[in-house]
């Protein structure tokens, strides 16, 4: 799927704006941009999101996609700070919703 360049830039800018120690949802990003939906945001992130803190974007129910878990578990990855940042707030694959800005 090809995405308009301005849309890709808007998605990546939104992700970059999520403060350290906080998360948001794919849907919140889609709402903020006002175009397309959460699946399109996820597609942009999977294609173009390697250079932004993608680990700060979660599903609407607060769960983490499997791809996040695989990468976040790797030692030395910036997202490996997930446990240090959220500590006991991570339960299984879900973040406590109080941490979500969405």
Which tokens belong to 56?
């700060």
Quote the pTM value. 0.71
Task: Indicate if the alpha-carbon torsion angle 12, 28, 58, 36 is positive or negative.
Answer: negative
Q: pLDDT value at position 82?
A: 52
pLDDT tens string 44-89: 998 998 889 888 888 888 887 777 766 666 655 555 545 445 544 4
Domains delineated in the chain: 5-97 (1.10.10.10)
pLDDT at residue 93 is higher than 60: no
pLDDT tens string 8-48: 999 999 999 988 888 889 999 999 999 999 999 999 998 99
């Amino acid at each position: 799927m090809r995405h308009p360049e301005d849309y890709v830039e808007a998605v990546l800018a939104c992700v970059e704006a999520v403060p350290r120690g906080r998360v948001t949802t794919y849907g919140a990003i889609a709402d903020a941009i006002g175009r397309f939906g959460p699946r399109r945001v996820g597609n942009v992130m999977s294609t173009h999101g390697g250079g932004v803190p993608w680990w700060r974007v979660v599903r609407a129910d607060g769960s983490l996609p499997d791809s996040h878990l695989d990468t976040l578990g790797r030692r030395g990855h910036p997202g490996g700070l997930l446990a240090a940042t959220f500590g006991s707030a991570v339960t299984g694959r879900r973040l406590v919703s109080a941490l979500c800005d969405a």
